[in-house]
Amino acid sequence: MRGELLNRFKEVYGDAEGADVFFAPGRVNLIGEHTDYNGGHVFPCALEIGTYAAARLRDDRKLRFYSANFPEAGVTETSLDDVVSGENAVDYKNRKLMWTDYPKGIIWTFTQNPHYKKLVKKDGKLLIDRGMDILYYGTIPNGSGLSSSASIEVLTAYIIKELYNIDISLKDIALLSQYAENKYVGVNCGIMDQFAVAMGKKNHAIFLDTSTLHFEYAPLNLGEYKIVIANTNKRRGLGDSKYNERRSQCEEALRRLHAVVDADTLGDLTGEEFETYKDAIKDETLTRRARHAVYENQRTIDAVEALKADDLQRFGRLMNESHISLRDDYEVTGIELDTLVEAAWKQEGVIGARMTGAGFGGCTVNIVHRDYIDAFEKNVGSVYSERTGLKADFYAVDVGGGPCRL
């Protein structure tokens, strides 16, 4: 891959002198959906598919971006001065989202967020003092819910760390990337995606408490089973989905609960506490949104305990319950995701299946016995095509590590 990217870099930019190659993974969340912005637990893992980039510093202040996934768009050129001015950041609601907003947002955050700005200054001067040429190539299906956006954000931040010699931890790279997506791209996401990409560990998932950022690595000992991702191929973008709406609904439910219970987040509540105090919400829709956040958090805690006890069957049942809650209480699935999951539940060799990611399209995650993967893909794909008219893509994936220089 390194040689291929450098050759493509040379084709696009004329030469590859001084360029180096980097990688950041995608991620899949095994359980714990829409809990990260509600102060709950999540259980994602990094994947061996992700985003690659060849990059080099320039002698001037030009920034040039190119994606091998969107060659028709050509090279996008801007200047460091335009990006760090911050003028575009405050106007994200009135501009069309472009893929280059993700790397631009990272550069802007490094230089404009006070917490990170101090990291990029030395002797009163910005370390990010000249431009870059970057060529990206992603192996994550766009809009699939496997965090192509977080992957490109973390990758760009890691490239900046390496090329400009900035002393920043991988944990801070995750937080910086979340800030960029919130404030520059305009998607009010939680920390899970960026954290899973930045902190990924080979053959491990990350059990993360999003309210404290306390985490532990949990070995993924699946034995004869593999993670199979099914892509609906229904594109969705978080910025124009109901993602932000769901977050605001949970915030409103929590605000109403404050009248009767002291809880900083919905993730602070047990199921029993929620049932005791839920009448204070006084709205059926808001109650269902909050119920999902509370019970999904508990399911995630229980699922990690099941995995530690080598109880894969219980882990799978909790995955199934997660999807039902996302379908009925949180209403973020839709016919495409429901069709894939319900077909998966009927297949031999399947322990569990659920939607993963924000929803409204994207992917499902399935735990499938390796002897039944071919039959699983054939049967589920056939049912899906007949019902939706779309073709699903399937990926039997391995769990990878975090960002690196190749």
Nearest alpha-carbon partner for 178 in 167, 169, 188: 188
Q: What sign does the CA torsion over 356, 240, 389, 331 have?
A: positive
Which pair of tokens denotes residue 364? Answer: 């499902």
Nearest alpha-carbon partner for 49 in 137, 135, 130, 112: 137
C-alpha to C-alpha distance for 351 and 318, rounded to whole angstroms: 10
- For 360, left (φ over 0), alpha (ψ -120 to 50), or beta? left
Q: Which distant-in-sequence residues (6+ apart) come within 8 Å of 112 by Cβ?
A: 84, 86, 89
Is 193 assigned a catalytic role? yes
Which pair of tokens denotes residue 382? Answer: 């056939």
Nearest alpha-carbon partner for 299 in 28, 27, 34: 34
Bridge partner list, 30: none
Residues listed for the chain: 406
User: Could you give the 3-state DSSP secondary structure of residue 86?
Assistant: coil
Nearest alpha-carbon partner for 32 in 45, 23, 41: 41
C-alpha to C-alpha distance for 46 and 193, rounded to whole angstroms: 9
C-alpha to C-alpha distance for 237 and 360, rounded to whole angstroms: 9
First to last CA, the chain: 9
C-alpha to C-alpha distance for 139 and 397, rounded to whole angstroms: 12
Q: Which amino acid, 179? A: Y
The catalytic position among 193, 262, 283, 393 is 193
Q: Which distant-in-sequence residues (6+ apart) come within 8 Å of 239 by Cβ?
A: 97, 185, 186, 187
> CB-based burial of residue 215 (10 Å sphere; 0-12 exposed, 13-18 middle, 19+ buried)?
middle
Which pair of tokens denotes residue 192? Answer: 């899970």
Active site residues: 193
